[in-house]
Chain A
Amino acid sequence: MSAAAHGHHDLGFFKKYMFSTDHKVIGMQYLITGIIMAFLGGYLAVKFRSQLAFPELALLSGSEYNSSVTMHGLIMVFWVAMPILVAAFGNFLIPTMIGCDDMAYPTLNMISYWLFLVSAFVAIASLLIGGYGGAWTLYPPLSANMAEASGGGAYVIGKVPGLFSGGSLIITAVALEIIAFLIGGLNFLVTTINMRAPGMSIWDLPFVVWMIDLAVVVFMFSVGPLVAGAIMLLFDRTLGTGFFDPNRGGDPILFQHLFWFFGHPEVYVVLFPSMGFVGEAITTFSRKPLFGFKKVIWAAIVASILSFIVWAHHQFIAGIDPHAAVFFTIFTVLISVPFAAMMFSFIATLWKGSIELTSAMLWALGFIITFLFGGVTGIYLGTLTSDVVFHDTYFVVAHFHYTFVPITIFGGMTAIYFWFPKFVGKNFSEFWGKVHFWISFISFNAIFLPMFIPGTAGQHRRIAGYTEATFPAMAVEPYATIRIISTVAFWVLFIAQVIWIIHMIVKFYTGEKAVKNPWKANTLEWTCDSPPPHGNFATYPTVYRGPYEYSVPSRDSDYWPQDEKG
């Protein structure tokens, strides 16, 4: 069995790049779709940030504003973070890192992508007919039975928005997207369990594979209730049922439970892969083993178990039983312990290392710093009484962007810069990578750090403009200036990403060919050619040791590939 055996297949363009079952092509399809959706989500943010900074220009009406914030949130979570972090890099890395030629079920893998693409088109269709403007959390009754959240009373019997409305389409799209990822995720798990190279025990699996699989498990066990909830909501919207109609015995808060039972673990679904990328980059560029490898994984497992019993901290003031809130706050605050342990391990990995500040390493360090800040501000929100002040204010907005942006952009960029030479097969320019990092790092902080200030004062979310007439306490200085600072910084961040994409495209065509193992890393994907051919390995590797044997004292070389005998 060798790659040459696959070489004689002469596949046409469509077979090769469109309806391919090769995990690398599917990974690339996920990545590119995700990036396109990211620019779409970013464009929505350009719209509403401009409205926020300059409300007197009246760029957006109330409902247009609501719709762009909502669609921004939904797109960024479901069509950017999920495909790029879990699906794209799961596809790239799992088969190459465990030393096999493809996924366990290649056709299923392809179906997963195409289902995902359909869901993306449905989401775009929803956006084109006006989108949905009731926040990405889709709370009924607003989302259930009203003409696009535009006013006019909830649950008027006989008045249903129907399937071809922005709201129904986006709910359908979310459901499809979830099914696509369930299919893809099952494939990841089976592949990791069944198709590892000879000699590879579970503790020889690289950190990132562990983390992606853990993310899939968390996703699989948390998403069910949301699927049920989405179908119920869709029935309310299209058939006129009343699952969430309080006048007919339904319960609006029930949906919140179904949503957040998924919604909180979802954060970890996207966080874990990202932590995996960062872990890989940090060990490789510090030339040190990942500190406390097993302990970090156990910490992640503990955190994922805890993540199933903290969901109601999103609902402290939503009208749930205040006694239950006490239970949830305890577990929420406790979840900081495993995460602190993971972060300390990353920092300990740097200690006495031999650190090389490549672009990927910069992004990884940027991830740790920004995500730490997101983590510590989470304590304010997980604690009952301070959440009363901060719930649904810009403090929350700033907090979750301090988690989601590190996860998606910083973690994603770590992965892209780290594995670009491998999967594209070309070298990129370190200079432009670093320029990209510094502009993004500074502008990102300039957007969200100031946002904590109005947040502390109680500036509430999803408001198209804070005028003297409605919210005078928020229309004054320094809040007005802070909104302008955030907006200008956001434009800078957006332009930095345009520079990045140009850099990547130019290097894709003109970059010099990458060597097999540019970072001198240990894991198996670096033993393939760059880019790996169909079938990945010339000879299938056997594994002799763990993935992080860097700087072993008895050896001259400071790395020791997993498949090197002796």
Chain B
Amino acid sequence: MRLMGKFLAVFTLMLLAVSGYSGLFFLDNISSYGQAIDNLIILVTLIVMPAFVICVSLIVYFVIRYKRREGAEKALYETGGHGSKLAKKILIIDGIVLALDIVILFVAIPTWMEMEVKKVPTQGVVDVRVTARQFDFDFHYAPGPDGKWFTKDDVKITGELRIPVDKKVVLHMTSFDVIHDFWAKNLRLKQDIVPGRTISRWFQVNKSLIEKIHGFKATDWDTKVNVRDVISNGNVMTSILADDIHNAKTEKDKKEAKEDLKDAKEELEKVYKKNLLGKRLFEIACAEICGSGHYKMNAWLVVEKQDAFDQWLKKKVAVNAKKYEVVAHHSSQGKSISFPIK
């Protein structure tokens, strides 16, 4: 019993350590199924790390205990063949490994069914079509006046996915050139975007999870998040300045360019703070190598309350309709790309 108590104490300590680890290193989860994934990772850690620690301790102990010494007795002749007690014990341990594997599978597969296998919902969802190209994501919210998707007149936002909370969002993803990957870290959603096929995935951002994020205040919902600021002040400024450093001919130029970059970064930090980075503004990355610009292929996920989102989308649709009114009249056939959507 005392051994059992010790074991429980150690296990509790490890549980604390692991949850500490996960709290420290996971990015905040905001999606409805993200917690299940995080829990699975913690469970796997609890299973495999003790196993690893035990194995290593055994190796170290054996090496110290059975180190060759002067006048010590001969090694044990143990082939581990038929009738070996140790072999039987190892067989049992193998059985335990198998059982633990099955436990992991039993926890993992239901979440997978929920995320990927279950039919993507169609009713009462926000329907966004994602097209990836080198090196940007385009998010299409509605077909334009010609009623067709992926024509010029779509309500399309580049590099910004704006979504409402507490509502299912369905992404239909395809690519026009090479394979890309939609990786929204905080959503725990990753999907390769393959040319020639349309892959649909859904997610839902929970309001309660957003509000749980460290440092989030209720008033933050009302702050306007302006991704344009981030993009123009961020990407352009730093990449131009980095080029300056690269191209600088004299040491003096280089030094100046470096100082400029430093200033720019400070400026940027202010922009980010204003833009609620990590609270309502999250990064989306392309996680599959897609060419020379892969290292800068990103997009931004902006979470809004439902009414703010509706307002924003309405405005976008109105602006778009006005812009393409004339075009729609004059050309009945816009330049469309043939695009297979199920």
Contacts and interface: CB of A to CB of B under 8 A. Distances in A.
Interface string A97-128: 00000000000000000000000000000000
Contacts of A517: none
A326 B113 CA distance: 9
A344 B94 contact: yes
A167 interface: no
A322 B117 CA distance: 6
B197 to A, nearest CB: 6
Contacts of B245: 56, 58
A350 interface: yes
Contact of A470 (B115, B234, B265, B272): B234
Interface in A332-377: 333-334, 336-337, 340-341, 343-345, 347-348, 350-357, 365, 368-369, 372-373, 376-377
Given A135-B289, A470-B235, A368 B59 contact: yes
Contacts of B27: 457-458, 473
A472 B269 CA distance: 10
A558 interface: yes
Interface string B280-293: 00110111111111
B169 interface: no
Contacts of B47: 379
B291 A468 contact: no
A347 B58 contact: yes
B8 to A, nearest CB: 23
Contacts of A457: 25-27, 185
B68 A134 contact: no
B111 A385 contact: yes
Contact of B294 (A62, A146, A293, A548): A62
B44 interface: yes
Given A350-B63, A376-B48, A62 B295 contact: yes
Given A66-B294, A153-B134, A329-B109, A317 B190 contact: yes
B68 A472 contact: no
B72 interface: yes
Contacts of A38: none
B112 A344 contact: no
Contacts of A139: 179, 288-289
Contacts of A326: 109, 112, 117
Contact of B237 (A325, A353, A385, A469): A469
B159 to A, nearest CB: 11
B178 interface: yes
B304 to A, nearest CB: 20
A340 B97 contact: yes
Contacts of B191: 317, 319
A469 B90 contact: no
Contact of A58 (B108, B242, B291, B296): B242
Nearest to B64: A355
Contacts of B341: none
Contacts of B40: 383, 385-386
Contacts of B269: 468
Contacts of A458: 27, 183, 185
Contacts of B25: 453, 456-457
A350 B62 contact: yes
B334 interface: no
A56 B260 CA distance: 12
Nearest to B272: A472
A392 B193 CA distance: 14
Nearest to A315: B192
A558 B75 contact: yes
Contacts, number: 320
A148 B81 CA distance: 56
B342 to A, nearest CB: 13
A134 B291 contact: yes
Interface in B252-272: 258, 261, 265, 268-269, 272
Interface residues of B, number: 102
B9 interface: no
Contacts of B22: 456
B10 interface: no
Nearest to A373: B52
Contacts of A368: 59
A469 B268 contact: yes
A154 interface: yes
A384 B192 contact: no
B246 interface: yes
Contacts of A393: 287
A204 interface: no
A61 interface: yes
Interface in B25-70: 25-27, 36-37, 40-41, 44, 47-49, 51-52, 55-56, 58-59, 62-63, 66-68
A325 to B, nearest CB: 7
Contact of B37 (A319, A369, A386): A386
B75 A288 contact: yes
Interface string A370-409: 0011001101100111101101110000000000000000
A369 B79 contact: no
Contacts of A322: 112, 116-117
A354 B86 contact: no
B234 A384 contact: no
Contacts of A62: 292-296
B37 A343 contact: no
A295 interface: yes
In this complex, the member of B25, B58, B289 whose beta carbon has the largest number of chain A beta carbons within 10 angstroms is B289
A337 B98 contact: yes
In this complex, the member of B36, B77, B239 whose beta carbon has the largest number of chain A beta carbons within 10 angstroms is B77
Nearest to B201: A317
Contacts of B188: 388-389
Interface stretch (A183-191, A221-229, A245-253, A264-272): A245-253
Nearest to B114: A385
B111 to A, nearest CB: 5
Interface string B67-93: 110001011111111001011001001
Given A319-B192, A458-B183, A56 B242 contact: yes
A334 B75 contact: no
Interface string A180-224: 000000000000000000000000000000000000000000000
A56 B291 contact: no
A383 B199 CA distance: 21
A333 B66 contact: no
A250 B293 CA distance: 25
Interface in B96-120: 97-98, 101, 104-105, 108-109, 111-112, 115-117
B194 A253 contact: yes
A553 interface: yes
Nearest to A458: B185
Contact of A291 (B80, B104, B111): B80
25 contacts: A56-B245, A58-B242, A58-B245, A62-B293, A66-B291, A141-B177, A153-B176, A247-B196, A293-B81, A329-B109, A333-B101, A345-B80, A347-B62, A351-B78, A354-B72, A355-B67, A356-B67, A379-B48, A383-B40, A385-B37, A388-B188, A456-B21, A456-B22, A551-B76, A558-B74
Would you list the 5 A-B pairs with minimal beta carbon distance, nearest first?
A246-B196, A469-B234, A292-B80, A63-B292, A458-B185
Interface of A: 56, 58, 61-63, 65-66, 133-135, 139, 141-142, 146, 149-154, 246-247, 250-253, 286-289, 291-295, 317-319, 322-323, 325-326, 329-330, 333-334, 336-337, 340-341, 343-345, 347-348, 350-357, 365, 368-369, 372-373, 376-377, 379-380, 383-386, 388-389, 391-393, 453, 456-458, 460-465, 467-474, 548, 550-553, 558
